[in-house]
C-alpha cells in the first residue's frame, strides 16, 4: 500500500480539467502510482486521513462502492 504524496497531488491537480478533488485524486492515483485495482486504491485511501474524509463524504465504505464510483466516471 502506497502513501499519498499530497505535494505531487497538488502539482497534478494544477493540470487537471476536473472540478471534483476526489475524482482528481483517483486519476492521480491511477497515473502516479499506476493503481487500477479498486481494492488497493480503497486501502490506500482508507489509510490517509484526508482521503478517508473524501470517502465518507461520498458514502464509500468498501472497495466495491469505490469500484461502482469509478465506473460512473
Whether the predicted pLDDT of 59 surpasses 90: yes
pLDDT-based confidence at 23, cuts 50/70/90? very high
Chain-centre distance for alpha carbon 48: 10
The pLDDT, as a whole number, for residue 44 is: 97
pTM of the model: 0.93
d(CA 28, CA 26): 5
What is the Cα–Cα distance from 13 to 16, expressed in whole angstroms?
A: 5
Domain boundaries, the chain: 6-72
- pLDDT (tens digit per residue) in 27-51: 999 999 999 999 999 999 999 999 9
Amino acid at each position: 500500500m502506497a502513501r499519498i504524496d499530497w505535494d505531487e497531488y497538488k502539482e497534478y491537480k494544477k493540470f487537471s480539467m476536473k472540478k471534483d478533488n476526489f475524482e482528481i485524486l483517483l486519476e492521480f492515483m491511477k497515473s502516479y502510482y499506476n493503481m487500477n485495482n479498486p481494492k488497493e486504491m480503497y486501502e490506500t485511501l482508507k489509510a490517509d486521513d484526508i482521503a478517508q474524509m473524501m470517502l465518507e463524504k461520498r458514502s464509500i465504505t468498501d472497495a466495491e462502492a469505490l469500484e461502482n464510483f469509478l465506473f460512473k466516471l
